[in-house]
Amino acid sequence: MPFVIRAFRGICAALIFFSGQLLTNSAAASVDEEATPLASQAVAASEALPAEPAVPVEAEAKQGISMAAEPVFTIPLGEKGLPVTNSILMSWIVSIGLIVAFRLAVGRPKMIPGRAQAAVESVIEALRELLEMIVGPKMIGKTFPLLIGLFTFILIQNWCGLIPGVGTIGFHRGGEFVPLLRPANADLNMTLGLTLVHFVAWTYFVMRYAGPKVLFVDLFGNKAPKGELPQPLYLFMFVMFGLVGFIEVISLVFRNVSLPFRLFGNIFGGDNLLESMMGWGVPVPFYFMELLVGLVQALVFTILVSVYIGQICNHGEEHASH
């Protein structure tokens, strides 16, 4: 009996709902019929009025930096030449500036370091200790030059957009303003290039110090404990881990998509935010925020590269020990 009552209540509720829908649709149709003559009269009245002369609309001012880096000059190579963009020019300046700055700060390393050498050594030692916990003691000496180079280059490139004049000093070409310098990491080509360096280095370190066999076992090998599972279940796990291996291969490929787009999106968005906030005065809080974002993104990129290398190479060391 309670089931019948509940069913009856449900049928009544459904009938009330559908009747409400029908009433709403009929009311909307009547409103449309009443509005149609009024709309036709309004159109006829507007056609009877004399046409006003067209007023030219000025193009909206372009706000923010463009997605693509603008060519500044062209090196005469080949038929069309080699265009040098403002982001490439900025990367050259940063690279030369880093070499000169470190040489001037450190000079020849001394047994009793000066202030500049002590400051540089303390930063390098802190980063080495951090990265050694990720790539392992076996690989830190081999990978640290690459990792410290990536971190320093990315960090300075992230911060160079905060230097006065970067993005604001330039020239006009074709009625548009072209900045002379542009943060390199706000150009997707630069972040893709950094990711290509990571992938080539990852392939070298994994093949050189772990080997193809360790890589294959890490991707497709059966990690289930053989003695703790029944034989049929253990054999079935070969199929499961094989399918997981294909997912791992896809993740290896998409690392080269997530790394550049993460870095590019954060730096490009931050530079556009600063440029849009310049109309409200000096965006001091956003400058400090971009300093933090630049440091975090440089650390994230470097640590992820360390994880990718250490994940396979340390795994190979564990297999060798067993």
- pLDDT of 279 reads 61
Which pair of structure tokens corresponds to residue 160? 């160079």
Confidence of residue 143 (pLDDT cuts 50, 70, 90): very high
Phi, psi of 172 (to 5 degrees): -100, 135
Residue type, position 282, single letter: V
d(CA 277, CA 284): 10
Question: Residue 108: which of 98, 99, 100, 117 has the closest Cα?
Answer: 117
- pLDDT of 67 reads 79
pLDDT tens per residue, range 19-51: 434 333 443 344 344 444 444 444 344 454 454
More confident residue, 270 or 227: 270
How many other C-beta atoms are found inside a 10 Å radius of the C-beta of residue 55?
Answer: 6
DSSP structural state of residue 307: H
Task: Tell me the average pLDDT across 156-166.
Answer: 85
pLDDT tens per residue, range 181-240: 888 888 898 999 999 999 999 999 999 988 888 888 888 877 777 777 787 887 878 788
pLDDT, mean over the chain: 76
Confidence of residue 98 (pLDDT cuts 50, 70, 90): confident
- pLDDT of 300 reads 94
Task: Tell me the average pLDDT across 301-313.
Answer: 91
| Selection from 12-16, 83-87, 116-120, 190-194 with the highest mean pLDDT | 190-194
- pLDDT of 119 reads 81
- pLDDT of 173 reads 84
- pLDDT of 282 reads 62
Phi, psi of 71 (to 5 degrees): -70, 135
How many other C-beta atoms are found inside a 10 Å radius of the C-beta of residue 204?
Answer: 13
- pLDDT of 296 reads 93
Which pair of structure tokens corresponds to residue 138? 């076996």
Residues sharing a CB contact under 8 Å with residue 199, sequence separation 6 or more, in sequence order: 255, 256
d(CA 219, CA 232): 22
Is residue 181 within 8 A of residue 90, CB to CB? The reply is: yes
Residues sharing a CB contact under 8 Å with residue 196, sequence separation 6 or more, in sequence order: 256
- pLDDT of 315 reads 64
Is residue 186 within 8 A of residue 161, CB to CB? The reply is: yes
pTM attached to this predicted model:
0.72
| Selection from 52-56, 235-239, 300-304 with the highest mean pLDDT | 300-304
How many other C-beta atoms are found inside a 10 Å radius of the C-beta of residue 300?
Answer: 15
- pLDDT of 201 reads 93
d(CA 232, CA 234): 5
Confidence of residue 63 (pLDDT cuts 50, 70, 90): low
Q: Where are the alpha helices (DSSP H) in the chain?
A: 2-48, 86-106, 115-135, 137-159, 188-209, 212-220, 231-277, 284-321
Q: Angle 137-159/86-106 helices, nearest 10 degrees?
A: 120
In percent, the amount of the chain with pLDDT more than 90 equals 20
Which of 38-52, 82-96, 157-171 is predicted least confidently?
38-52
d(CA 299, CA 250): 24
- pLDDT of 317 reads 53
Task: Tell me the average pLDDT across 149-155.
Answer: 92
Residues sharing a CB contact under 8 Å with residue 230, sequence separation 6 or more, in sequence order: none
Beta bridge partners of 172: 177
Task: Tell me the average pLDDT across 244-257.
Answer: 88
Cα angle 71, 266, 159; round to 5:
70
Phi, psi of 114 (to 5 degrees): -80, -170
d(CA 170, CA 66): 14
